[in-house]
A = this chain, B = another copy of it.
Amino acid sequence: MSDFIALDLPLVLLSNRGPVSFDRDATGRTVGRGAGGLVSALSGLAEHLDDAVWVCGAASEEDTVVAGENAGSSILVQTHPQPHLVDGEPEGPAIRVRLVVTDPAAYADFYSVWSNPILWFIQHGLYGRSLSPVLTRAEHDAFENGYAAVNRAYADAVVSEVRSRGGKALVLLQDYHFYLVADWVREQCPDVVLTHFVHIPWPGPDEWRILPGDIRERLLRGLLGSDVVGFHTRRYARNFVLCAAELLGLPADLDKLTVTVGDRVVRARYYPISVDPAALDATQASEEVAAHVAMLRYLFLDDDRQLLLRVDRTDPSKNVVRGFLAFGTLLDQHPELVGRVSFLALLQPSRTDVPEYADYIALIGGVVAEINARHTKEGRQPIDLRMVEDFPLAVAAYSICDVLIVNAIADGMNLVAKEVAVVNRRGGVLALSEMAGAHEELGEFAVTLQPFDVQQMADAFYTALTMPIGERHRRLAAAADQVRTHDVRRWLDDQIVDLRRIAGFI
């Protein structure tokens, strides 16, 4: 990546999962690095700065031990060539980390009651409202003793890091785990310049009305402690401003996307997150991916056959069941495709402790069996369902698929679509839900899916499979160009430019 821009102020990052994690093996303490585009982009930024710190949760037992050894202060981890704790001056790129330890029961209420079921369900529109949620005293208590208590602990750590840097810093908060932090940090450190970035969809006021009035008000007021509330798309930012107007009665401008809170103006902005193309290129060039490509070609692409692909967590928001129903409809209505088109689904089981998620996996298995029973021809099953998390296998499949299917009913961004745009070498067509954030950027190069409409999706799959190859390559090249020129570094740089402007440095 190119050089990072100057910040002029110290940087304090906050996310639930951090850039490093500690463990133990026979040789003693080990240090691992976090994965994913977000962590690598933020890590790159933090490594580059002398005065940055990353506040995150102690996720492992050994994290908690390390945090205890450095109670109330940050640690320095050299990240290259081999990650290790540093005492004194590092001899390579390093990140300063502040590990926050919270009570396990409080953390469970924070994470497994509020963040992942309730907030995730609200923000992805997953509740069947006639029957769920049923909010009781237990949920109220879990908010107070869990979500709010854990937010307070993280906010205290952020405040302590800001204060030790003179009380003025750029603060970047991440995601739906920490909606109460910004307001508390601003109260203690009024000179911070702060962005809270929300990585998942932000629905309109009606969806938020599912939550108790006092809780939805606290969540919104918490976020409004920010200078900028960042989202992936204009629609989410617009919905946020609408919530502030309708649920809090605050003066709001739906065109400028601003909310007035006392004498402050809070801006809702959209910065579409993206991928790290160089890292993807490197993975694609690996021998492991080459081996997978050869295997997948052998299984799915002899004799001019075609391959549809999906790569998702088994989250109900990903809409896997209707995706398969649409594929079944495609084969019903175009029998000439039976035996000539395969659908490879690489699904990573997710949150199987949540009943809706476990039930959803069973439904997926059921619909796959039913379609395979109906349409297997000459020993070839049309759907190959693999419950795996294997990134090199996914990259191999990305590179040779004819159609990528992203049919989420709600998805903050969806990075799989962007990964395929960068990696595919076959003129792969993106079949992209209008409800995925990525559709705002890539929709014009994609075949649009309407995720509740099985017939529309079946028709769209057919359009994608029969699109002339020149058109396929033209669209893919345009999508790849969009992603490569709007990578994850740009996502980060745009936010920092806005914060430096607010701080008066530009």
Q: Residue A16 at the B interface, CB < 8 A? A: no
Q: Residue A498 at the B interface, CB < 8 A? A: no
Alpha-carbon distance A235/B245, docked complex (angstroms): 12
* Structural contact, B134 and A452, CB atoms closer than 8 A: yes
Q: Residue A434 at the B interface, CB < 8 A? A: yes
Q: Which of chain B's residues have a CB closer than 8 A to the CB of A129?
A: 125-126, 128, 409-410, 452
**Residue in B closest to A452 when the chains form the complex, CB atoms:** B210
Chain A window 134-168, contacts with chain B (Cβ cutoff 8 Å), 1 for yes, 0 for no: 11110110000000000000000000000000000
Contact of A206 among B131, B207, B210, B456 (CB under 8 A): B207
Q: Residue A205 at the B interface, CB < 8 A? A: yes
Contact of A135 among B130, B321, B453 (CB under 8 A): B453
Number of copies of this chain that the complex holds: 2
* Structural contact, B130 and A360, CB atoms closer than 8 A: yes
* Structural contact, B206 and A409, CB atoms closer than 8 A: no
Alpha-carbon distance A229/B450, docked complex (angstroms): 27
**Residue in B closest to A128 when the chains form the complex, CB atoms:** B128
Q: Residue A11 at the B interface, CB < 8 A? A: no
* Structural contact, A450 and B213, CB atoms closer than 8 A: yes
Alpha-carbon distance A213/B435, docked complex (angstroms): 12
Alpha-carbon distance A143/B409, docked complex (angstroms): 22
Given A130-B409, A246-B235, A136–B454 Cβ distance below 8 Å? yes
Contact of A452 among B133, B434, B453 (CB under 8 A): B133
Alpha-carbon distance A207/B125, docked complex (angstroms): 9
Q: Which of chain B's residues have a CB closer than 8 A to the CB of A317?
A: 130
Chain A window 237-250, contacts with chain B (Cβ cutoff 8 Å), 1 for yes, 0 for no: 00100100010000
* Structural contact, B209 and A135, CB atoms closer than 8 A: no
* Structural contact, B325 and A134, CB atoms closer than 8 A: yes
A-B contact pairs, 7 of them (CB 8 A): A126-B129, A129-B452, A137-B329, A140-B455, A206-B207, A209-B450, A235-B246
Residues of A within 8 A of B (CB): 125-137, 139-140, 203-207, 209-213, 235, 239, 242, 246, 254, 316-317, 319, 321-322, 325, 329, 356, 360, 363, 409-410, 434-435, 450, 452-456
